Structure 1
């Protein structure tokens, strides 16, 4: 069975050069394997880049869309749309996911900025943890009150690439592409920003504008990813640290390397998810959590720097 779980390189090449709609292998590659690979690559890159931007924006090595409640906010809005308004259209749910991510990000940033000292790493962690718990409890309450609709949103909660198609990616891909290109173009500005806001302002940088652009980019990347595959955590947490270990502290390199490593990680996680309990699949979020939780604890214990 394992031998037929994945096509050989020869079958893949032949499926593209000499596609035969009557061939089971060719159809499987075009309708299942290729979409999974592309979606895993795009979503993994988006989550990792969002994590790198969040860590720079908040000056916190523990920042990521999953640990700061942005993914939880997106999931809650999707659950509300699905259970309360009976919305199942992918494009409509995408906008609900974006709205949830935006609301969660605004609340976390607002709570973390309260007080005389403004935004600090400790306050942003506390605010993110609180919002994560809040939206998670709201989501659970919604599912308890509407058990009949639980199956309709279960895949959003667990996270999965299986069953997604390239048609589902199409509404989100232009926004993710624009956000990704924008992030790549902010590397030099972020390098100046992370040296300190006072220094950046003294060098003529428009810090407020940079923060707004970074925040919107994070929301698009995180919200778009949740809209496609559901809740997949920890990719944005530890991938930026891996990128820093490889290329140093220059965000002109951290951001593209984070994208590449994030895409590779999610594709690998999807591969593992299909192998663990063949012929069934382990939820993708379980695999990324299994990898990410130990790294999360390591960062918390060692106090890894965010620069």
Structure 2
């Protein structure tokens, strides 16, 4: 393990401890230790840490890691440094399905919303793939970006039309629109956590091939790699990671965009080094955003999607300026 990776692991561990401490009532590190290793069934702090804070910390860890890796795969697949998982339409597709479900009744169970969001993300990405990608066809990644942008705009338009018609549905959709890792019961999200963990582990055999694909499709074909098959695997990984993230936490922006850039700057261009680091940095960044959302304007909470936008927008503008300077 490289020194930078070790530093990222240490930073993530600190972020986890601070996340377990933070809230309207701050707990001490000693209270966190007591809650984790020798909890009391009657102690309020122990119950708060082990139930509410532990669950939202686990959700933030899983969502951040999944989005960080999904963004890195998407940038490799499209060879576009400004690509993010949203280009496949997963966010827009998930939102459209959840909005449709919300308009069918006054109450939308959490498990149904999560399942619908995951299904919507998968169906949207499948539609983008069917339109854009063909075996042995040139310019597949470019068509993927264009098809994703077009279908995302279409899905958002339908969602907004339904929300304008159904004001009650708009109130129910605030969680998905702003993003949040709070009030997510562990019994509801643990299947999505397992999906994310399984996909992160399954990415490991593809790291060398993604190194070759990053050099271009012609190079990958010359190396004997089935480019279309690798592209399909990449899309499936992005869909599962981003779909699970949206289903757990709603619309979280910028994590999948900026984290891969930070990881490459720290670990170089080898996917075997920077993609695992992207998982660590994504988890840490989302935890930091969640802690800030809880403590910025107490006792209220700022939506975590707003915090990631506030943290990510300056970095995004710096990336755009850097790219412009390189090509200018």
Question: Does structure 1 conserve the Cα–Cα contact (< 8 Å) formed by 2:24 and 2:298?
Answer: no
Question: Does structure 2 conserve the Cα–Cα contact (< 8 Å) formed by 1:67 and 1:129?
Answer: yes
Matched, 1:259 2:263: no
Tell me which residue corresponds to 1:161.
181
Question: Does structure 2 conserve the Cα–Cα contact (< 8 Å) formed by 1:112 and 1:118?
Answer: no
Tell me which residue corresponds to 2:266.
246
Alignment counterpart, residue 152 of structure 2, candidates 116, 119, 132: 132
Distance 1:135 1:303 in 2: 30
Post-superposition shift, 1:4? Answer: 5.8
TM-score when normalising by structure 1: 0.90
Distance 1:236 1:74 in 2: 17
Tell me which residue corresponds to 2:238.
218
1:46-195 → structure 2 map (5 Å cutoff): 46-66=66-86, 69-84=89-104, 88-109=108-129, 117-121=138-142, 124-195=144-215
Distance 2:154 2:322 in 1: 28
Which range is displaced more, 236-245 or 7-16? 7-16
Aligned length: 302
Post-superposition shift, 1:51? Answer: 0.3
Distance 1:129 1:198 in 2: 25
Distance 2:222 2:249 in 1: 42
Change (3 A) 1:49 1:133: same
Distance 2:26 2:304 in 1: 18
Question: Does structure 2 conserve the Cα–Cα contact (< 8 Å) formed by 1:188 and 1:251?
Answer: yes
TM-score when normalising by structure 2: 0.85
Change (3 A) 1:169 1:198: same
Matched, 1:227 2:261: no
Distance 1:3 1:243 in 2: 29
Change (3 A) 1:183 1:150: same
Question: Does structure 2 conserve the Cα–Cα contact (< 8 Å) formed by 1:184 and 1:255?
Answer: no
Distance 2:171 2:41 in 1: 33
Post-superposition shift, 1:42? Answer: 0.5
The Cα offsets for residues 2-28 of structure 1, whole Å up to 9 and x where unpaired, read as 896321110011112221121111110
Distance 1:108 1:87 in 2: 31
Change (3 A) 1:13 1:139: same
Distance 1:83 1:184 in 2: 41
Tell me which residue corresponds to 1:286.
306
Question: Does structure 2 conserve the Cα–Cα contact (< 8 Å) formed by 1:81 and 1:87?
Answer: no
Distance 2:103 2:26 in 1: 36
Tell me which residue corresponds to 1:6.
26
Two-structure CA RMSD over aligned residues (Å): 2.3
Matched, 1:297 2:317: yes
Alignment counterpart, residue 293 of structure 2, candidates 273, 290, 305: 273
Q: Secondary structure at the match of 1:161?
A: coil
Distance 2:107 2:200 in 1: 28
Change (3 A) 1:62 1:3: closer
Q: Secondary structure at the match of 2:140?
A: coil
